[in-house]
Structure 1
């Protein structure tokens, strides 16, 4: 992939830009295999003697992505002036750098960004000046569904320009008719985050349908969703395949987000419970389960670790799916899994370093199968999904 922004030196976020894509995949696979090959080698038997080397992992072919146009969510900083707003990033002096033609964004997002820039100027929304801590509009967040529908979120410092945004909403909807969800998010604090806690929905719809294969998911404004729809569909398919082979009567989907793993793994006679701290995500997942007529699939808003470690023994499932944030599942949940009656774990990781740490804290388990996922081409970011089974099983 070639990028004029990278070539000009105005954006170096994609650190592997220019590296042939096959080489990117090979390097990431080698790194993952080396990291996971060490899991279990430092453990010791009960009598203190060293254990034998771990059994080889069955590595499945990598799940690759289109090199460009793959990112379904753009988190764009708004800079510049009212008359000439920039949508992109900030440079080293905290000035706006316009990236409205960013090649890793989906085509629908690339078409939308110039329209949004024109709307910002037309409506007179004042870009936030980071050094001076003045202005109102901090970010524009745009998500595209595989169907082409858009969710557009304006991150404002206060309600000061909310009336202006409401007044001109019709103009934006006419210029961007596929923007089915438009919101204002309030972020009054001056800190390095992209959104605040309060969301004000400006459109009739507050949910973006996200069809992936035969499963329709729903995304509300503050819910997490995989940023690469092409790879996400294959990831959910791989996990569902492993779950079907294990054929558990019950499973938990911890850190379930909008329910992608749970809904793809739902089968007749199988009870499924999704746990997620975000109430917005739980509402989205519950909507999807209800629409599909899956009464055996439930979602609750709770902390995954707290729920698991305090679960009654008769509530513990046969299989657990975990898809934690970059910090991993942590020592407490890893310890609980190690001593629980759970028979199979599927661990989807966006941070191989914490994955290895968590697996080392689960000496009763071993990785039997693994698959790399290239969710972020042109970067050194790598994700992996693993099938983890009890030793000796």
Structure 2
């Protein structure tokens, strides 16, 4: 038996390893990573950075399902996941409140088979540092906007933690989480999080790590590794809201952060401005475009690509840039291994696993590559 009733009763099997002892989970992940990276002969394997086992997620993604009782938030099979132990008690409480409020308003969840109804998803994010939350309703059309706005005061009175509330319009009949249009119901448009004392901002469409405690360890480790050679110039590619770049900041160090999502770049710029960091520049660009047009040569490059990895084009370009060191943060060690095969001229110095996703086979890994 695990500590999750949803898993034990076969209502949800997302955490496929939740009934494994945590030491066994770590061993399985470490073995998987060793098998993938052994051909590259890492000089040093560091102990995995561990996670707490409950309440570590800062984001809930709930499918809205129509039932006779009203909207159910959870899985598409009409299973509520409001009390998922990956969310802390405050998030569970707010999700209960939101579900009840939606039923009182008479909101109809979207029926995938009948292609009827309005509410598709409910997304809830929480700041670990101050407990404030952001709530997003993903809707099929604008038809519910007026009703939600009228009931908003009642919702905020019941759940004062909600500081940012939006509606996202996703009109396509496909399994797409969100659309382009975001409608703000609140004056506040972002949450502030603090990791290792550094302010980072969460906006509706900006990527943010879902396990903030392990993210702190990852950013802190990357900053320590990057700073060892006292680099003068550093690039952070796929920088998101600027977590790596801001942690690596130093008065005599020039840093460029590149990210294609404009919302994330605005968050990163706001953080840099709050910290009065004038040596960091953030640009909303595709990493490949930046790579093709940049004439500079950095001392250290940090890359944090999506699950698909860097790909052949970027890997070959990085080899030509010929930076002294590359720090590669990956959420998919399989694509990482493929990229390492292409990255010529580098050896693997250090490897560390960060258990960002307990109870699953997934993990984050940080690798230091040294030229020559």
Q: TM-score scaled by structure 1? A: 0.92
C-alpha displacement at 1:108, in angstroms?
A: 2.3
CA displacement, residues 138-171 of structure 1 (integer Å, 9 cap, x when unaligned): 0000011012110100000100000111111111
Q: Secondary structure at the match of 1:389?
A: strand
Rounded to whole Å, the distance in 1 between the matches of 2:161 and 2:34 is: 42
Structure 2 residue aligned with 1:10: 11
**2:121 matched to which residue of 1?**
139
CA contact (8 A) 1:82 1:125 kept: no
Q: Does 1:323 align with 2:304?
A: yes
Q: Distance in 1 between matches of 2:31 and 2:117?
A: 47
User: What SS does the aligned partner of 1:246 have?
Assistant: coil
How much does 1:80 deviate? 2.5
1:332-351 equivalence runs, <5 A: 332-351=313-332
Within 2, Cα distance between the matches of 1:181 and 1:225?
16
Secondary structure of 2:228's partner? Answer: helix
CA shift, 1:219, in A, is 1.1
CA distance in 2, matches of 1:311, 1:31: 36
Q: 2:64 aligns with which of 78, 84, 91?
A: 78
Give the one of 355, 377, 381 matched to 2:336: 355
CA distance in 2, matches of 1:176, 1:234: 31
3-state SS of 1:70 partner = coil
> 2-side partners of 1:271 and 1:108: how far apart?
40
Identify unmatched segments of 5+ residues in structure 1. Answer: 40-53
Q: Whole-Å Cα distance in 2 between the matches of residues 237 and 106 of structure 1?
A: 24
* Match status 1:30 vs 2:16: no
Is the CA contact 2:72–2:79 (under 8 Å) kept in the aligned structure 1? Answer: yes
What secondary structure does 1:38 align onto? helix
Asked if 2 retains the 8 angstrom alpha-carbon contact of 1:251 and 1:272, the reply is yes
Q: 1:357: how far off?
A: 0.5
- Equivalent residues of 1:81, 1:126 under 8 A apart: no
* 1:335 aligned counterpart, secondary structure: helix
Structure 2 unaligned blocks of 5 or more: none
Distance in 2, matches of 1:192 and 1:225, equals: 21
Q: Is the 8 A contact 2:196 2:220 kept in 1?
A: no
CA positional deviation for 1:363: 2.3
Superposition map of 1:262-273 within 5 A:
262-273=245-256
Residue equivalent to 1:213? 196
Task: Give the aligned CA root-mean-square deviation in angstroms.
Answer: 1.1
Corresponding residue of 1:57: 43
Whether 1:151 and 2:137 are equivalent positions in the alignment is no
Measured after TM superposition, the shift of residue 366 of structure 1 is: 1.4
Cα displacement string for residues 177-230 of structure 1 (whole angstroms, at most 9, x for unaligned residues): 011111001100011121111111110100110111210101111000000011
CA contact (8 A) 1:82 1:127 kept: no
* CA distance, structure 2, for counterparts of residue 121 and residue 83 of structure 1: 8
- Do 2:327 and 2:368's aligned partners in 1 also have CA atoms closer than 8 Å? yes
Aligned residues: 370
